[in-house]
Amino acid sequence: MTRNPTTAMVAERAADTGMASGLEANELSVAYGGNVAVARATLHAPLGRITGLIGPNGAGKTTTFNACNGLLRPSGGSVRYNGRDVTRMGTASRARLGIGRTFQQVQVCTGMSVRSNVALGAEISLIGRNPLRQFTGGPSQRRVVIERTNEALDICDLTHLADTSMAVLSTGQKRLVELARVLAGGYQLLLLDEPSSGLDESETARFGDILTSVVRDRGVGILLVEHDMTLVMAVCEYIYVLDFGNMIFEGTAAQTQASPEVRAAYLGEDAAR
């Protein structure tokens, strides 16, 4: 457990634990004009683990996400994925390497069915650089899309809603559709930005169970930004804490809950009881 680990320490920890490289942000900085939103943040989200990124509103969590998946170009530091420097790659290139993403706000096509929304994840990942493949793909590609879609629907308990219009779904169900869509894409690493927003307690618990089973069964890695501390502490094996753009702590769930520094910045005294 350290503050703001160095690049060498991140690599050493990955080697010691035997974890696949996954995503490594090293000394990552993002600035808007003269304002520094994220300052020299280092984190490691390996494959085969759920890694949490928490902190108060405005701490820089989504900015860090956007730099990790290519929506923002960092002003300093680097981003590596499975050992490859992807700092200057855009979102599409990183997606082709295996990085998938969901957003804070629900983003679904309400005029389409659940199945069609989930199928988009599989189709986009197969199209790659050539959009015409969507129209010229042969029977084998269509079979892959159907198989991936059905598997993702099953994992997220959405099969019974497959032909239902998105317009009539609850927020919780739409969140599951978003997750199913990114799972259908076959990505190795999932960046999930506040995925439990709008879910009730039972839906959140089920969502956490699905995340845990996906990591166990598929070996994917997940970097989770989340305000629901019950979910974070239940599913995250390792947690990073941002405050005012600075990485102030990292450790296991138990270590995070016990940290006076984290409680003072974010969790509050009740979190340790």
Break the chain into its structural domains and give their ranges: 1-95+187-200+216-268, 99-186
- Distance in angstroms (rounded) separating the CA atoms of residues 168 and 110: 9
The pLDDT value recorded for residue 158 is: 95
CATH number of 1-95+187-200+216-268: 3.40.50.300, 1.20.140.10, 3.30.830.10, 1.10.3720.10? 3.40.50.300
1-95+187-200+216-268 and 99-186 share one fold: yes
What is residue 105's predicted lDDT score, i.e. its pLDDT? 72
**Yes or no: domain 99-186 corresponds to CATH 3.40.50.300:** yes
CB count, 10 Å around CB of 12? 12
Q: What is the pLDDT of residues 50-91, one digit of tens each?
A: 999 999 988 999 999 999 999 999 999 999 999 999 999 999
pLDDT score recorded for residue 232 = 95
Over residues 18-60, the pLDDT tens digits come to 456 899 999 999 998 878 999 999 999 999 999 999 999 889 9
What does the pLDDT read at residue 142? 84
What mean pLDDT is predicted for residues 197-224?
93
Q: How confident is the model at residue 218 (pLDDT cuts 50, 70, 90)?
A: very high
Give pLDDT, residue 134: 52
Output the average pLDDT for the chain.
Answer: 86
Helix (H, G, I), strand (E, B) or coil at 241: strand
* DSSP line for 193-234: ESTTTT--HHHHHHHHHHHHHHHHHH--EEEEE-S-HHHHHH
Q: Does residue 182 have a pLDDT over 70? A: yes
Whether 42 contacts 247, CB under 8 Å: yes
State pTM to two decimals. 0.84
